[in-house]
A and B are shown apart, each in its own frame.
Chain A
Protein backbone atom coordinates (compact mmCIF):
# COMPACT_ATOMS: atom_id res chain seq x y z
CA UNK A 1 0.00 0.00 0.00
CA UNK A 2 1.49 3.33 -1.02
CA UNK A 3 2.17 5.55 1.94
CA UNK A 4 1.39 9.24 1.83
CA UNK A 5 1.63 12.07 4.34
CA UNK A 6 -1.23 11.94 6.81
CA UNK A 7 -1.02 15.49 8.10
CA UNK A 8 -1.14 18.91 6.51
CA UNK A 9 -1.61 22.41 7.72
CA UNK A 10 -4.79 24.02 6.42
CA UNK A 11 -5.17 27.63 5.40
CA UNK A 12 -8.88 28.22 4.77
CA UNK A 13 -8.75 31.91 3.92
CA UNK A 14 -11.72 34.24 4.31
CA UNK A 15 -13.86 32.82 1.48
CA UNK A 16 -13.97 29.29 2.77
CA UNK A 17 -15.38 30.56 6.02
CA UNK A 18 -17.98 32.67 4.21
CA UNK A 19 -19.43 32.31 0.75
CA UNK A 20 -17.18 29.34 0.01
CA UNK A 21 -18.36 27.34 2.99
CA UNK A 22 -19.35 24.44 0.78
CA UNK A 23 -15.74 24.18 -0.40
CA UNK A 24 -14.50 23.88 3.17
CA UNK A 25 -17.14 21.38 4.16
CA UNK A 26 -16.49 19.12 1.19
CA UNK A 27 -12.72 19.48 1.43
CA UNK A 28 -12.62 18.56 5.10
CA UNK A 29 -15.07 15.70 4.57
CA UNK A 30 -13.04 14.23 1.72
CA UNK A 31 -9.71 14.48 3.52
CA UNK A 32 -11.24 13.02 6.65
CA UNK A 33 -12.51 10.09 4.63
CA UNK A 34 -9.00 9.65 3.21
CA UNK A 35 -7.65 9.56 6.76
CA UNK A 36 -5.62 12.75 6.38
CA UNK A 37 -5.53 15.30 9.18
CA UNK A 38 -5.94 18.92 8.14
CA UNK A 39 -5.00 21.23 10.97
CA UNK A 40 -6.12 24.82 10.61
CA UNK A 41 -3.22 27.26 11.00
CA UNK A 42 -3.41 28.93 14.37
CA UNK A 43 -4.57 32.55 14.33
CA UNK A 44 -4.31 32.84 10.56
CA UNK A 45 -5.10 36.16 8.95
CA UNK A 46 -6.41 37.29 5.57
CA UNK A 47 -3.91 36.54 2.80
CA UNK A 48 -4.40 39.94 1.15
CA UNK A 49 -6.32 38.38 -1.74
CA UNK A 50 -5.44 39.47 -5.24
CA UNK A 51 -5.76 43.20 -4.85
CA UNK A 52 -3.44 44.14 -1.99
CA UNK A 53 -0.23 43.11 -3.76
CA UNK A 54 -0.84 45.68 -6.48
CA UNK A 55 -1.38 48.37 -3.89
CA UNK A 56 1.51 47.89 -1.49
CA UNK A 57 3.98 45.09 -2.04
CA UNK A 58 5.77 45.29 1.28
CA UNK A 59 2.63 45.39 3.39
CA UNK A 60 0.94 42.62 1.41
CA UNK A 61 4.01 40.42 1.75
CA UNK A 62 3.98 41.09 5.49
CA UNK A 63 0.32 40.15 5.68
CA UNK A 64 0.84 36.91 3.78
CA UNK A 65 4.19 36.38 5.44
CA UNK A 66 2.62 36.30 8.88
CA UNK A 67 0.70 33.19 7.89
CA UNK A 68 3.81 31.63 6.42
CA UNK A 69 5.85 32.39 9.52
CA UNK A 70 3.23 30.80 11.77
CA UNK A 71 2.96 27.77 9.49
CA UNK A 72 6.72 27.35 9.44
CA UNK A 73 6.74 26.52 13.12
CA UNK A 74 5.75 23.01 12.10
CA UNK A 75 7.41 20.87 9.50
CA UNK A 76 4.30 20.35 7.37
CA UNK A 77 3.08 21.46 3.94
CA UNK A 78 0.22 23.94 3.84
CA UNK A 79 -2.92 23.29 1.79
CA UNK A 80 -4.55 26.52 0.54
CA UNK A 81 -7.75 25.57 -1.34
CA UNK A 82 -8.83 29.07 -2.39
CA UNK A 83 -7.08 29.96 -5.66
CA UNK A 84 -6.44 33.54 -4.60
CA UNK A 85 -4.94 32.46 -1.27
CA UNK A 86 -2.90 29.80 -3.04
CA UNK A 87 -1.50 32.23 -5.57
CA UNK A 88 -1.13 35.11 -3.10
CA UNK A 89 0.87 33.08 -0.60
CA UNK A 90 3.08 31.65 -3.34
CA UNK A 91 3.65 35.07 -4.89
CA UNK A 92 4.57 36.48 -1.51
CA UNK A 93 7.11 33.70 -1.06
CA UNK A 94 8.64 34.36 -4.46
CA UNK A 95 8.62 38.10 -3.91
CA UNK A 96 10.37 37.79 -0.56
CA UNK A 97 13.00 35.59 -2.19
CA UNK A 98 13.63 37.91 -5.10
CA UNK A 99 13.51 41.31 -3.35
CA UNK A 100 15.90 41.41 -0.40
CA UNK A 101 15.00 45.06 0.32
CA UNK A 102 11.34 44.17 0.86
CA UNK A 103 12.29 41.06 2.75
CA UNK A 104 14.31 43.17 5.15
CA UNK A 105 11.23 45.28 5.90
CA UNK A 106 9.00 42.25 6.30
CA UNK A 107 11.52 40.57 8.59
CA UNK A 108 11.41 43.61 10.85
CA UNK A 109 7.63 43.70 10.81
CA UNK A 110 7.34 40.01 11.65
CA UNK A 111 9.97 40.33 14.35
CA UNK A 112 7.83 42.96 16.02
CA UNK A 113 5.22 40.23 16.36
CA UNK A 114 7.79 37.75 17.58
CA UNK A 115 7.74 35.83 14.29
CA UNK A 116 10.40 34.68 11.89
CA UNK A 117 10.03 33.64 8.24
CA UNK A 118 12.70 31.42 6.74
CA UNK A 119 11.25 30.57 3.35
CA UNK A 120 10.96 26.86 4.02
CA UNK A 121 7.23 26.19 4.01
CA UNK A 122 5.50 24.89 0.86
CA UNK A 123 2.01 26.11 0.02
CA UNK A 124 0.15 23.49 -2.06
CA UNK A 125 -3.16 23.23 -3.81
CA UNK A 126 -5.50 20.38 -2.79
CA UNK A 127 -5.62 19.10 -6.39
CA UNK A 128 -1.85 18.84 -6.34
CA UNK A 129 -1.95 16.95 -3.04
CA UNK A 130 -4.66 14.57 -4.20
CA UNK A 131 -3.01 13.74 -7.51
CA UNK A 132 0.64 13.75 -6.52
CA UNK A 133 0.76 12.87 -2.83
CA UNK A 134 -2.22 10.56 -2.43
CA UNK A 135 -2.31 9.36 -5.99
CA UNK A 136 -5.23 8.44 -8.23
CA UNK A 137 -4.72 4.75 -7.57
CA UNK A 138 -5.32 5.24 -3.86
CA UNK A 139 -8.33 7.41 -4.53
CA UNK A 140 -9.74 4.87 -6.97
CA UNK A 141 -9.74 2.34 -4.15
CA UNK A 142 -12.02 4.62 -2.11
CA UNK A 143 -14.60 5.21 -4.83
CA UNK A 144 -17.84 3.62 -3.68
CA UNK A 145 -20.43 5.29 -5.91
CA UNK A 146 -18.90 6.26 -9.23
CA UNK A 147 -20.78 8.99 -11.09
CA UNK A 148 -21.27 6.93 -14.20
CA UNK A 149 -22.80 8.75 -17.09
CA UNK A 150 -22.42 12.19 -15.54
CA UNK A 151 -20.91 14.81 -17.82
CA UNK A 152 -18.99 17.72 -16.33
CA UNK A 153 -17.15 20.73 -17.66
CA UNK A 154 -13.84 20.98 -15.76
CA UNK A 155 -13.21 24.66 -15.01
CA UNK A 156 -9.87 25.60 -13.44
CA UNK A 157 -10.06 29.36 -13.56
CA UNK A 158 -6.89 31.43 -13.88
CA UNK A 159 -5.01 31.70 -10.62
CA UNK A 160 -3.78 28.13 -10.29
CA UNK A 161 -2.19 28.24 -13.76
CA UNK A 162 -1.22 31.89 -14.22
CA UNK A 163 1.48 33.10 -13.79
CA UNK A 164 2.88 29.92 -12.22
CA UNK A 165 1.73 26.48 -13.33
CA UNK A 166 3.60 24.32 -10.87
CA UNK A 167 1.61 21.12 -10.86
CA UNK A 168 -0.31 21.19 -14.12
CA UNK A 169 -0.10 22.40 -17.69
CA UNK A 170 -0.58 26.12 -18.12
CA UNK A 171 -2.77 26.06 -21.22
CA UNK A 172 -4.53 22.74 -20.92
CA UNK A 173 -4.52 21.55 -17.31
CA UNK A 174 -5.73 18.03 -16.77
CA UNK A 175 -5.37 17.17 -13.09
CA UNK A 176 -9.03 17.76 -12.34
CA UNK A 177 -10.09 15.94 -15.50
CA UNK A 178 -8.20 12.91 -14.30
CA UNK A 179 -9.62 13.18 -10.83
CA UNK A 180 -13.17 13.40 -12.15
CA UNK A 181 -12.51 10.43 -14.42
CA UNK A 182 -11.34 8.46 -11.41
CA UNK A 183 -14.64 9.44 -9.78
CA UNK A 184 -16.33 7.69 -12.70
CA UNK A 185 -17.55 10.81 -14.48
CA UNK A 186 -16.92 12.05 -17.99
CA UNK A 187 -15.40 15.43 -18.77
CA UNK A 188 -16.58 17.20 -21.91
CA UNK A 189 -13.95 18.74 -24.17
CA UNK A 190 -13.95 22.24 -22.75
CA UNK A 191 -11.75 24.90 -24.40
CA UNK A 192 -12.50 27.52 -21.73
CA UNK A 193 -10.85 25.64 -18.86
CA UNK A 194 -8.67 28.56 -17.85
CA UNK A 195 -10.65 31.49 -19.13
CA UNK A 196 -11.33 34.36 -16.76
CA UNK A 197 -14.67 34.15 -14.91
CA UNK A 198 -14.79 37.90 -14.42
CA UNK A 199 -13.15 37.93 -10.99
CA UNK A 200 -14.25 40.97 -9.04
CA UNK A 201 -15.60 42.65 -12.17
CA UNK A 202 -19.02 41.07 -11.67
CA UNK A 203 -19.37 43.53 -8.83
CA UNK A 204 -17.47 46.54 -10.15
CA UNK A 205 -17.90 46.49 -13.94
CA UNK A 206 -20.89 44.21 -14.44
CA UNK A 207 -21.14 44.70 -18.24
CA UNK A 208 -17.78 43.00 -18.53
CA UNK A 209 -17.98 40.61 -15.57
CA UNK A 210 -21.38 39.18 -16.32
CA UNK A 211 -20.48 38.63 -19.92
CA UNK A 212 -17.34 36.71 -19.03
CA UNK A 213 -19.30 34.48 -16.66
CA UNK A 214 -22.02 33.99 -19.24
CA UNK A 215 -19.54 32.85 -21.89
CA UNK A 216 -18.22 30.15 -19.58
CA UNK A 217 -21.69 28.93 -18.62
CA UNK A 218 -23.00 28.94 -22.16
CA UNK A 219 -20.11 26.97 -23.62
CA UNK A 220 -20.36 24.36 -20.89
CA UNK A 221 -24.04 23.91 -21.70
CA UNK A 222 -23.32 23.77 -25.42
CA UNK A 223 -20.76 21.03 -24.87
CA UNK A 224 -23.33 18.94 -23.04
CA UNK A 225 -22.14 19.36 -19.48
CA UNK A 226 -24.61 18.82 -16.66
CA UNK A 227 -22.55 20.91 -14.27
CA UNK A 228 -19.41 22.99 -14.12
CA UNK A 229 -16.86 21.70 -11.64
CA UNK A 230 -14.56 24.38 -10.22
CA UNK A 231 -11.60 24.78 -7.87
CA UNK A 232 -12.01 28.42 -6.87
CA UNK A 233 -14.60 29.95 -4.54
CA UNK A 234 -14.76 33.22 -6.49
CA UNK A 235 -15.29 31.35 -9.77
CA UNK A 236 -18.03 29.32 -8.12
CA UNK A 237 -19.61 32.48 -6.75
CA UNK A 238 -19.47 34.31 -10.07
CA UNK A 239 -20.80 31.44 -12.10
CA UNK A 240 -23.41 30.36 -9.58
CA UNK A 241 -24.58 33.58 -7.99
CA UNK A 242 -25.30 35.79 -10.97
CA UNK A 243 -27.24 33.42 -13.20
CA UNK A 244 -30.40 35.44 -12.58
CA UNK A 245 -28.77 38.64 -13.85
CA UNK A 246 -27.23 36.69 -16.70
CA UNK A 247 -30.63 35.27 -17.60
CA UNK A 248 -32.04 38.80 -17.73
CA UNK A 249 -29.17 40.22 -19.74
CA UNK A 250 -28.40 37.31 -22.07
CA UNK A 251 -30.29 34.08 -21.65
CA UNK A 252 -31.11 31.54 -18.94
CA UNK A 253 -28.44 28.90 -18.60
CA UNK A 254 -29.45 27.06 -15.46
CA UNK A 255 -26.11 25.33 -14.94
CA UNK A 256 -25.16 23.98 -11.53
CA UNK A 257 -21.64 24.97 -10.40
CA UNK A 258 -20.00 22.70 -7.85
CA UNK A 259 -16.59 22.09 -6.32
CA UNK A 260 -14.39 19.18 -7.34
CA UNK A 261 -14.23 18.12 -3.72
CA UNK A 262 -18.01 17.79 -3.69
CA UNK A 263 -17.94 15.52 -6.76
CA UNK A 264 -15.12 13.45 -5.31
CA UNK A 265 -16.97 13.22 -2.01
CA UNK A 266 -20.13 12.00 -3.72
CA UNK A 267 -18.17 9.32 -5.51
CA UNK A 268 -16.60 8.32 -2.23
CA UNK A 269 -20.08 7.74 -0.82
CA UNK A 270 -20.36 10.84 1.34
CA UNK A 271 -23.75 12.52 1.76
CA UNK A 272 -24.91 15.63 -0.06
CA UNK A 273 -25.37 17.40 3.29
CA UNK A 274 -21.88 16.63 4.48
CA UNK A 275 -20.58 18.06 1.22
CA UNK A 276 -22.55 21.31 1.37
CA UNK A 277 -24.31 20.56 -1.87
CA UNK A 278 -27.41 22.37 -0.66
CA UNK A 279 -25.51 25.64 -0.36
CA UNK A 280 -25.37 26.61 -4.02
CA UNK A 281 -27.82 29.11 -5.45
CA UNK A 282 -28.51 27.14 -8.59
CA UNK A 283 -29.70 23.82 -7.37
CA UNK A 284 -27.24 20.95 -7.66
CA UNK A 285 -30.04 18.43 -7.81
CA UNK A 286 -29.17 17.63 -11.42
CA UNK A 287 -25.83 16.38 -10.18
CA UNK A 288 -27.48 14.32 -7.51
CA UNK A 289 -30.17 12.97 -9.81
CA UNK A 290 -30.35 9.22 -9.96
CA UNK A 291 -28.40 8.60 -6.78
Chain B
Protein backbone atom coordinates (compact mmCIF):
# COMPACT_ATOMS: atom_id res chain seq x y z
CA UNK B 1 0.00 0.00 0.00
CA UNK B 2 1.93 3.04 1.19
CA UNK B 3 5.70 3.07 1.18
CA UNK B 4 7.09 4.36 4.46
CA UNK B 5 10.53 5.98 4.21
CA UNK B 6 12.40 5.74 7.46
CA UNK B 7 14.46 8.94 7.37
CA UNK B 8 12.87 12.13 8.65
CA UNK B 9 11.49 14.21 5.81
CA UNK B 10 14.06 16.74 4.60
CA UNK B 11 12.77 20.27 4.18
CA UNK B 12 14.02 21.98 1.03
CA UNK B 13 17.41 23.64 1.52
CA UNK B 14 16.14 27.00 0.28
CA UNK B 15 13.47 27.06 3.01
CA UNK B 16 10.66 26.69 0.48
CA UNK B 17 7.12 25.41 0.94
CA UNK B 18 6.40 23.61 4.19
CA UNK B 19 3.08 21.76 4.18
CA UNK B 20 0.66 22.35 7.04
CA UNK B 21 -1.14 19.17 8.02
CA UNK B 22 -4.04 18.88 10.43
CA UNK B 23 -4.42 15.49 12.10
CA UNK B 24 -7.41 14.03 13.94
CA UNK B 25 -6.22 11.27 16.24
CA UNK B 26 -8.51 9.00 18.23
CA UNK B 27 -7.70 9.05 21.93
CA UNK B 28 -7.38 5.33 22.58
CA UNK B 29 -5.16 4.23 19.72
CA UNK B 30 -3.52 6.81 17.52
CA UNK B 31 -3.14 9.58 20.09
CA UNK B 32 -1.65 7.03 22.49
CA UNK B 33 0.67 5.84 19.72
CA UNK B 34 1.81 9.41 19.18
CA UNK B 35 2.48 9.67 22.91
CA UNK B 36 4.49 6.46 22.66
CA UNK B 37 6.48 7.92 19.77
CA UNK B 38 7.26 10.84 22.08
CA UNK B 39 8.23 8.66 25.02
CA UNK B 40 10.48 6.70 22.65
CA UNK B 41 12.01 10.01 21.46
CA UNK B 42 11.41 9.12 17.83
CA UNK B 43 11.97 12.12 15.56
CA UNK B 44 9.66 13.12 12.75
CA UNK B 45 8.64 16.12 10.67
CA UNK B 46 7.11 19.05 12.63
CA UNK B 47 4.39 19.83 10.10
CA UNK B 48 1.46 18.08 11.80
CA UNK B 49 -0.99 19.64 14.27
CA UNK B 50 -2.96 17.04 16.21
CA UNK B 51 -6.58 17.50 17.26
CA UNK B 52 -7.72 14.91 19.76
CA UNK B 53 -11.08 13.15 19.50
CA UNK B 54 -12.31 10.22 21.57
CA UNK B 55 -13.04 8.09 18.52
CA UNK B 56 -12.23 8.45 14.83
CA UNK B 57 -16.00 8.03 14.41
CA UNK B 58 -16.43 11.53 15.85
CA UNK B 59 -14.74 13.01 12.84
CA UNK B 60 -17.42 14.64 10.75
CA UNK B 61 -16.35 14.93 7.08
CA UNK B 62 -17.08 18.63 7.53
CA UNK B 63 -14.08 18.85 9.86
CA UNK B 64 -11.87 17.61 7.06
CA UNK B 65 -13.39 20.01 4.54
CA UNK B 66 -13.12 22.88 7.02
CA UNK B 67 -9.46 22.12 7.61
CA UNK B 68 -8.76 22.32 3.88
CA UNK B 69 -10.87 25.43 3.56
CA UNK B 70 -8.96 27.15 6.36
CA UNK B 71 -5.58 26.48 4.76
CA UNK B 72 -4.45 22.95 5.50
CA UNK B 73 -2.39 21.35 2.74
CA UNK B 74 -3.15 17.87 4.07
CA UNK B 75 -5.45 16.17 6.57
CA UNK B 76 -4.54 12.97 8.40
CA UNK B 77 -7.11 10.85 10.23
CA UNK B 78 -5.86 8.20 12.64
CA UNK B 79 -8.01 5.52 14.26
CA UNK B 80 -7.87 2.03 15.72
CA UNK B 81 -7.47 -0.99 13.49
CA UNK B 82 -10.78 -2.53 12.37
CA UNK B 83 -12.02 -4.82 15.11
CA UNK B 84 -10.09 -2.98 17.82
CA UNK B 85 -12.16 0.17 18.23
CA UNK B 86 -12.49 1.06 21.88
CA UNK B 87 -16.14 1.78 21.18
CA UNK B 88 -16.64 -1.46 19.25
CA UNK B 89 -17.54 -0.14 15.78
CA UNK B 90 -16.74 3.55 15.53
CA UNK B 91 -13.88 3.06 13.10
CA UNK B 92 -16.10 1.15 10.68
CA UNK B 93 -18.30 4.21 10.43
CA UNK B 94 -15.19 6.32 9.92
CA UNK B 95 -14.14 4.06 7.09
CA UNK B 96 -17.52 4.31 5.34
CA UNK B 97 -17.67 8.07 5.61
CA UNK B 98 -14.10 8.66 4.55
CA UNK B 99 -14.32 6.40 1.50
CA UNK B 100 -17.22 8.57 0.36
CA UNK B 101 -15.34 11.75 1.29
CA UNK B 102 -12.31 10.67 -0.75
CA UNK B 103 -14.46 10.51 -3.85
CA UNK B 104 -15.91 13.94 -3.14
CA UNK B 105 -12.47 15.43 -2.60
CA UNK B 106 -11.34 14.02 -5.91
CA UNK B 107 -14.35 15.59 -7.62
CA UNK B 108 -13.46 18.90 -5.99
CA UNK B 109 -9.98 18.69 -7.49
CA UNK B 110 -8.15 17.94 -4.26
CA UNK B 111 -5.50 15.43 -5.23
CA UNK B 112 -5.11 11.98 -3.73
CA UNK B 113 -2.60 11.99 -0.92
CA UNK B 114 -3.75 15.22 0.68
CA UNK B 115 -6.32 13.34 2.73
CA UNK B 116 -5.17 10.14 4.40
CA UNK B 117 -6.90 7.64 6.66
CA UNK B 118 -4.51 5.47 8.65
CA UNK B 119 -5.14 2.75 11.27
CA UNK B 120 -2.56 3.07 14.01
CA UNK B 121 -2.82 1.07 17.21
CA UNK B 122 -1.66 2.28 20.61
CA UNK B 123 1.51 0.24 20.33
CA UNK B 124 2.55 1.57 16.92
CA UNK B 125 4.62 4.63 17.83
CA UNK B 126 6.94 3.89 14.93
CA UNK B 127 4.00 3.93 12.52
CA UNK B 128 3.08 7.46 13.63
CA UNK B 129 6.56 8.60 12.72
CA UNK B 130 6.67 6.88 9.35
CA UNK B 131 3.13 7.94 8.43
CA UNK B 132 3.82 11.59 9.26
CA UNK B 133 7.14 11.63 7.44
CA UNK B 134 5.69 9.92 4.41
CA UNK B 135 2.68 12.19 4.26
CA UNK B 136 4.74 15.35 4.66
CA UNK B 137 7.03 14.28 1.82
CA UNK B 138 4.09 13.50 -0.45
CA UNK B 139 2.19 16.70 0.31
CA UNK B 140 5.34 18.75 -0.10
CA UNK B 141 5.71 17.25 -3.57
CA UNK B 142 2.07 18.14 -4.35
CA UNK B 143 2.71 21.73 -3.39
CA UNK B 144 0.55 24.16 -1.42
CA UNK B 145 -3.23 23.82 -1.67
CA UNK B 146 -3.92 27.27 -0.20
CA UNK B 147 -7.70 27.22 -0.50
CA UNK B 148 -8.05 30.50 1.47
CA UNK B 149 -5.77 32.12 -1.10
CA UNK B 150 -7.85 30.66 -3.92
CA UNK B 151 -11.09 31.84 -2.26
CA UNK B 152 -9.64 35.34 -2.08
CA UNK B 153 -8.62 35.22 -5.74
CA UNK B 154 -12.08 34.00 -6.81
CA UNK B 155 -13.74 36.68 -4.70
CA UNK B 156 -11.51 39.30 -6.33
CA UNK B 157 -12.33 37.94 -9.79
CA UNK B 158 -16.04 38.10 -9.03
CA UNK B 159 -15.76 41.68 -7.84
CA UNK B 160 -13.84 42.72 -10.95
CA UNK B 161 -16.35 40.90 -13.12
CA UNK B 162 -19.26 42.62 -11.48
CA UNK B 163 -17.60 46.02 -11.90
CA UNK B 164 -16.93 45.38 -15.58
CA UNK B 165 -20.42 44.07 -16.25
CA UNK B 166 -21.89 46.99 -14.37
CA UNK B 167 -19.90 49.64 -16.35
CA UNK B 168 -20.55 47.98 -19.76
CA UNK B 169 -24.28 48.87 -19.94
CA UNK B 170 -23.98 51.73 -17.51
CA UNK B 171 -26.55 50.19 -15.18
CA UNK B 172 -26.00 48.81 -11.75
CA UNK B 173 -26.17 45.07 -11.67
CA UNK B 174 -27.32 43.19 -8.61
CA UNK B 175 -24.58 41.25 -6.97
CA UNK B 176 -24.37 37.64 -7.99
CA UNK B 177 -24.58 36.57 -4.39
A and B touch in the complex (CB under 8 A): no
